[in-house]
Amino acid sequence: MTTLEGMHAPNFTLKNERGNDVSLRDFAGEKYVLLYFYPKDATPGCTTEACDFRDAHESFSDLNAVILGVSPDGEKAHTKFIEKHGLPFSLLIDEDHEVSKEYGVWLLKKMYGKEFMGIERSTFLIDPTGTVIKEWRKVKVKGHVEETLETLRELVKSK
């Protein structure tokens, strides 16, 4: 997969946990978007990552950024996940994997000798003009949120 850094982010419109449409263009000219793709609600790594973003949510908000999580899970799973962990941001539903494919994160994965298609944990920082400023692929959860926050801090400071 070629990098999306420096390119215009693929636009999307997806339903969130409440059944409302959320589009990248909703934030155009106004906010940074931290768009993170994760494999599945309520799994250990995905729960840790979501809770880390939850705990840093105020810091991201202070830097004029919105956090959006994306997975193939449906409305019911997203709602349960949000309620259980007190997540203050929307989770978007990509059941047909179209947005995941556009961002190059729907890939062939291997686990325990089996191959299957799934989301490669990835995060994209998109500026208010819609440009991908930074991307993180094959994300390891530990320390990831701190790294994204520090990148955003440096970016905002340099403006």
pLDDT digits (tens, 9 = 90+) for 121-148: 999 999 999 999 999 999 998 999 999 9
CA distance 137 to 26: 25
Closest CA to 63 of 33, 28, 29, 24: 33
At 116 the pLDDT is 86
Structural domains in the chain?
Answer: 13-158 (3.40.30.10)
pLDDT score of 1 more than 60: no
Predicted structure pTM score: 0.94
Q: What is the mean pLDDT of residues 22-42?
A: 95
Closest CA to 99 of 79, 76, 122, 80: 122
pLDDT digits (tens, 9 = 90+) for 53-85: 999 999 999 999 999 999 999 999 999 999 999
- The residue behind tokens 């997806």 is 14
Please pick, among 4, 34, 46, 152, the residue that the annotation labels catalytic.
46
pLDDT digits (tens, 9 = 90+) for 33-46: 999 999 999 888 89
Q: Is 46 a catalytic residue?
A: yes
Handedness of CA 96, 98, 104, 105 (dihedral sign): negative
Q: Determine contact, residues 23/12, Cβ cutoff 8 Å.
A: yes
Q: What percent of the chain has pLDDT above 70?
A: 99
pLDDT score of 159 more than 90: no
CA distance 21 to 129: 20
Give the bridge partners for 97, in sequence order. Answer: none
Closest CA to 39 of 90, 103, 134, 109: 109
